[in-house]
A = this chain, B = another copy of it.
Amino acid sequence: MNYEQRISQAAHKVEERLLSLLRDKPQAYASVLEAMEYSLMAGGKRIRPLLTLEFCTLCGGEEETALDPACAVEMIHSYSLIHDDLPCMDDDDLRRGKPSCHIQFGEATALLAGDGLLTKAFETIAAASTLDDTKKARCVLQLAKAAGAHGMIAGQVIDLASENRQISQDTLHQLCALKTGEMIRVAARLGCICAGADEKQIQAADIYAEKIGLAFQIEDDILDIIGDEEKLGKPVGSDAQSHKNTFATLYGIERSRELVASLTEQAKDALNVFDSQKSGFLKVLAEKLASRDN
């Protein structure tokens, strides 16, 4: 199976499971469940659940074992996008070329759909038939910390506070590490936990995820300046227009590209603790994310 096949096979598997986890929709309150499904199934690269599945198999586990935690990670990612798009936050009408959740279902339902997905993430782990109670408790703890007020939410707070003012490189790094980095890191980490990985493996996964997470964000910022609108599916130049603090504006394009290249190498190096036969896909993933055009 080549890189593209693996990506789409994992995405398909995650999407099937997500659908089945949200199957039940009693008529009296179907709207919120439809809104949850709408946002959850709106596409995206499914990179986070892919990391969960990949690190589980890399650490010697069965992919199936990590499927529900992988879905939980994607639910939290999806909830964060719904709440981020709300008028009181980024006020975005479009998400991946489609009406965002509150445009499609109204603000109240979108708010509740986000709450519902966040809650469902923890239910999904606690109900996972593939995990023993110790793994469930560890996954819940790690996921809640990563998504919580000292993790992803802290990143959103710093992001809001940084609007319309110049921030330092340190603050930008902290913002990125928290707002997007924490969830990417915990995605990899949950895969390790599901497989019963040792501390050394978990640390390697942390470093890999941290590096590709940062590289991904920097590449995003670069593409916003020099990307192809058609391939991106969104207008370029929006960051500059809204005076957003980005790596590309703070470091310049050339230095940003060097950073992406160096982070990608560091990510690949971190995988050296694993069987090199099995880590090939994650190495390619790091490279592809760094050289993507969308």
Contacts and interface: CB of A to CB of B under 8 A. Distances in A.
A154 B27 CA distance: 10
Given A137-B136, A141-B123, A36 B149 contact: yes
Given A33-B149, A133-B136, A144 B157 contact: no
A252 interface: no
Contact of A115 (B31, B87, B118): B118
A51 B148 CA distance: 26
A155 to B, nearest CB: 8
A29 B86 contact: no
Interface in A152-198: 153-158, 160-161, 171, 174, 178
A61 to B, nearest CB: 18
Contacts of A28: 154, 157-158, 161, 171, 174
Most interface-central of A28, A83, A132, A157 (chain B CB within 10 A): A157
Interface in A178-229: 178
A120 interface: yes
A247 interface: no
A125 interface: yes
A127 B31 CA distance: 34
Contact of A154 (B32, B79, B136, B158): B32
Given A133-B133, A133-B137, A144-B122, A112 B29 contact: no
12 contacts: A26-B154, A29-B178, A32-B154, A33-B149, A83-B115, A86-B88, A88-B106, A109-B160, A112-B149, A115-B118, A116-B153, A126-B140
What are the 4 closest A-B residue pairs judged by CB atoms, nearest first? A123-B144, A116-B149, A88-B107, A126-B141
Interface of A: 24, 26, 28-29, 31-33, 36, 79, 83, 86-89, 106-109, 111-116, 118-120, 122-123, 125-127, 132-134, 136-138, 140-141, 143-145, 147-150, 153-158, 160-161, 171, 174, 178
